[in-house]
Amino acid sequence: MRVHGVWKAIFVVACAGLISIATLQGCPSNPTTETTTEATTETTTEPTVEPTTEPKVEPSIEPAVETTTEPTTEVTTDGSAEGNPEATVETSTEPTAEAIPEAAGQQKFSIRLRSLNPQVPQQTFAGAKVCEEGTQNCTNADANADGSLMLDIGREVYVSVEGASSAQPIFPLRVPIKMPTTEQTFVFYVFLNQEVQGLAGVAQVQVDPAKGMLGIRALDTTTQPKDGVSFTMDPSSGQGPFYLGLTGLPDRTLTKTSLAGTAFFANTTPATPFLIKGAHASLSCKGISIAHTDANGDLKLTTKAGTLTTTSVTCQ
């Protein structure tokens, strides 16, 4: 049961701690120059056709007509070596209306599925189904365990990950996301079923498949794990919180986070809205920017049967 150490950095929604975010800065806004110049100089001939169709509707993509290769390559380099091939596909092909999500109030959400355990290769998660929960907006992770969805900007959704083409079953994962306005790449750390069962076993808890698991990470302003943070759930449900010690395993004597910065609740009631508050002796702890929060910045979420829901707070 390889849970030792893997769980030091278990729960996944911190903006660079557990979820690493790399802005892909696609679709630069310099087409304005070309559109204006050409439309003014040659109003009767070809420029009239070009600005009236594609450039007008999709100003940020049209440079691709002349420099498709270069901007695409830079985007790929800037964002990430693995996640951007899809950005290339979307910006190079002709269904450009979909390649400009801002027009429809949507943005591309790129996902990489990885394990914190170096003995679990990323290919383990190839074929996993990634969905905007409750919709048919789904994709299957490719051979490199990467994928992407189009999500509504500013909308609070849950992104779920389940199933895989591996002999080692994964424990279904669920991450609450408030979609930012910029195209970004998120790393979701996925756990094998045996890892989650092992963690619960050390905490002397038996995982009930009809209940939900909840993991929370406390971070400082540099996205490093923060110690000294206690978590409460309102209304209380299930068992916990259990705090992970420096070994990366639950320590039932702890009442606050260790330097592992992590806590979890087991066997919570599914579909019941909870408020999760993080408290520190001298700092204020609020949900990270992409988390679901209330007006006070406290986490607001639900859990799902047989699923690990993960999120984080920042303490400053």
* Contact criterion met (CB below 8 Å) for 154 and 178: yes
Pairing between β-strand 21-23 and β-strand 184-189 as defined by DSSP bridges: antiparallel
Query: Across the strands, what pairs with 147?
Result: 111
* Contact criterion met (CB below 8 Å) for 245 and 258: yes
Q: Residue 280's pLDDT is what?
A: 98
CA–CA gap between residue 140 and residue 80 (Å, rounded)? 19
State the Cα angle at 290 between 284 and 293, rounded to 5°. Answer: 55
Q: Residue 104's pLDDT is what?
A: 62
3-state SS, one letter per residue, for 90-155: HHHCCCHHHHCHHHHCEEEEEEEEECCCCCCCHHHHCCCEEEECCCCCEEECCCCCEEEEEEECCC
CA–CA gap between residue 313 and residue 106 (Å, rounded)? 25
CA–CA gap between residue 106 and residue 152 (Å, rounded)? 4
178-194 b/e (C-beta count within 10 Å ≥ 16 → b)? bbbeebbbbbbbbbbee
Q: Which DSSP letter does residue 56 get?
A: H
CA–CA gap between residue 268 and residue 154 (Å, rounded)? 27
For 3, 146, 208, 289, 291, the CA distances from 213, given in Å and listed in that order, are 16, 25, 9, 22, 17
Mean pLDDT by 10 residues, the chain (316 residues): 44 37 33 38 41 40 40 34 30 38 75 91 94 96 96 96 86 95 88 94 96 96 96 97 94 97 97 97 96 96 97 96
CA–CA gap between residue 232 and residue 18 (Å, rounded)? 21
**Which domains are seen in the chain, by residue range?**
6-23+105-315 (2.60.40.10), 31-103 (no CATH)
If you count them, how many residues does the chain have?
A: 316
Q: Residue 50's pLDDT is what?
A: 43
DSSP-assigned states of every residue in 176-200: EEE--SS-EEEEEEP-BHHHHHHHH
